[in-house]
């Protein structure tokens, strides 16, 4: 865990190759020992699972295949389920949901994209309800069929194309022509 400066309580996991847990000094001072343990256990779970990398890959895939809105929904749902899994890991560490719930209340809702604070599903989960994927089956099947068709198109195109010879000078000349 690395302490960072900040004017509000924050805790997060960042890094792609070797994710680390960051906690603001304000959060460390505001939370009691059990609450801080719960928060660090939550973020450590994200680090162990390399959630920042997974979420980045899903974001890149969703942006690259922008014409498939199901991928954006899948990314949001995966992020929510990753939070719930990290909450469960924290509960195993501290043994009681009240510590994590109290820490969540201290953090509150930051109102920033990509920052998860208190939300109804997390509270319900801490109270014992089990989450679901919450995506219609037809949406998932449609997305999988579209991805399959795209892959088939890529492989068919690659198999039918002839190998063209180009030189570095030709590529540079072409890029200069496009720029002009």
Maximum separation of any 2 CA atoms in the chain, in Å: 66
The pTM of this model reads 0.73
Least confident piece of the model among 2-11, 58-67, 138-147, 155-164: 155-164
Q: Does 25 score more than 90 pLDDT?
A: yes
Percent of the chain with pLDDT over 90: 37
Q: How far is CA 123 from the centre of its chain?
A: 20
Q: Which residue has the tokens 């679901």?
A: 132
């Amino acid at each position: 865990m690395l302490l960072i400066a900040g004017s509000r309580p924050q805790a997060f996991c960042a890094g792609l190759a070797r994710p680390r847990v960051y906690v603001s000094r304000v959060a460390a001072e505001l939370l009691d020992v059990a609450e801080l343990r719960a928060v660090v256990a939550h973020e450590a779970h994200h680090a162990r699972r390399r959630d920042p990398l997974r979420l980045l890959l899903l974001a890149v895939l969703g942006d690259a295949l922008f014409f498939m809105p199901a991928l954006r929904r899948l990314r949001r749902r995966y992020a929510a389920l990753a939070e719930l899994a990290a909450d469960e890991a924290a509960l195993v560490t501290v043994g009681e949901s009240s510590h994590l719930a109290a820490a969540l209340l201290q953090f509150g809702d930051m109102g920033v994209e990509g920052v998860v604070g208190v939300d109804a599903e997390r509270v319900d989960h801490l109270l014992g309800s089990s989450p679901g994927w919450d995506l219609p089956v037809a949406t998932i099947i449609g997305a999988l069929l579209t991805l399959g068709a795209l892959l088939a198109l890529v492989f068919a195109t690659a198999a039918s194309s002839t190998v063209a010879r180009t030189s570095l000078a030709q590529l540079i000349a072409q890029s200069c022509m496009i720029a002009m």
